[in-house]
């Protein structure tokens, strides 16, 4: 067992409700996440629940030279590992995903092109999960994407009232197999159209 897998297993055994898996994501899953997040064209990205940093490194590899990645992680062992990643575009924060708005504000980020999340929504307290979902929606730029890779569909239960139905892809080349959920926040023009249609419909009743 290599160092990343061993660190991941120890962190899982210590806090299974926080870590949510016994081994890191596969390279196939990482590529699917990068594509779903459209990392190649991003200016600001946020990652929640970085683990041992495999997805983080894949995002950095795809991102433009001028882009920035803010990684928020609760598990100290993972934070320590990722702090050894030498890349000026990356900043690692030891904290909770619910602090995303605060941490972005500290750095002058108005919004983000994508939020990528590996945190296990299926084990989070309902109140905290709902708080994180609301915060993610607030920080997404118009047209921004929320990408969550999960073993269950609980994240969709929390996000559907806020952003509607997701696109869902399955990645079987991962242990265990995982689902990748993607939402896109409506752009400004789309939001205006939706508001106009809703107002018009309301006026007919």
28-52 pLDDT per residue, tens: 999 999 999 999 999 999 999 998 8
Q: What is the pLDDT of residue 6?
A: 43
Residue 78's pLDDT band (boundaries 50, 70, 90)? confident
Average pLDDT over residues 118-134: 95
CB under 8 Å to 28, separation ≥6 — which residues?
171, 173, 174
Token digits of residue 178: 């995982």
What is the distance between the alpha carbons of residues 134 and 128, in angstroms, rounded to a whole number? 10
* Cα 181–Cα 54–Cα 90 angle in degrees, nearest 5: 95
Cα–Cα distance, 1 to 136 (Å, whole number)? 35
Q: What percent of the chain has pLDDT over 90?
A: 67
Band of residue 182 on the pLDDT scale cut at 50, 70, 90: very high
Q: Distance between CA atoms of 201 and 59, rounded to whole angstroms?
A: 42
Whether 184 and 143 have beta carbons less than 8 Å apart is answered as yes
Mean pLDDT of 106-128: 96
Q: Are 56 and 6 in contact (CB under 8 A)?
A: no
**pLDDT exceeds cutoff 50 at 134:** yes
Residue 17's pLDDT band, with cuts at 50, 70 and 90, is very low
Q: pLDDT-based confidence at 188, cuts 50/70/90?
A: low
Q: What does the DSSP assignment read for 8-63?
A: HHHHHHH-HHHH--SSPPPHHHHHHHHHHHTGGG-SEEEEE--TTSHHHHHHHHHS
pLDDT higher at 75 or 44: 44
Residue 18 to residues 13, 27, 122, 125: CA-CA distances in angstroms? 10, 22, 10, 11
What's the CATH superfamily of 3-203?
Answer: Vaccinia Virus protein VP39 (3.40.50.150)
């Amino acid at each position: 067992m290599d160092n990343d897998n061993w660190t991941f297993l120890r962190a899982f055994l210590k806090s299974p409700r926080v870590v949510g898996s016994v081994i890191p994501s596969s390279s196939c899953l990482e590529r699917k996440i990068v594509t779903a997040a459209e990392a190649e064209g991003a200016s600001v990205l946020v990652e929640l629940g970085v683990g041992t940093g495999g997805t983080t490194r894949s995002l950095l590899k795809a991102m433009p030279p001028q882009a920035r990645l803010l990684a928020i992680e609760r598990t100290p062992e993972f934070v320590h590992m990722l702090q050894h990643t030498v890349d000026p575009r990356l900043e690692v924060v030891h904290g909770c995903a619910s602090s995303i708005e605060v941490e972005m504000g500290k750095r002058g980020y108005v919004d983000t092109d994508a939020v990528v999340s590996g945190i296990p929504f299926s084990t989070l307290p309902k109140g905290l999960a709902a708080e994180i979902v609301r915060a993610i929606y607030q920080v997404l730029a118009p047209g921004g994407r929320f990408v969550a890779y999960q073993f269950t569909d609980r994240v969709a239960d929390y996000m559907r009232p806020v952003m509607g139905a997701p696109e869902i892809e399955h990645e079987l080349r991962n242990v265990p197999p995982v689902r990748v959920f993607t939402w896109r926040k409506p752009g400004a023009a789309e939001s205006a159209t939706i508001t106009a249609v809703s107002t018009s419909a309301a006026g007919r009743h």
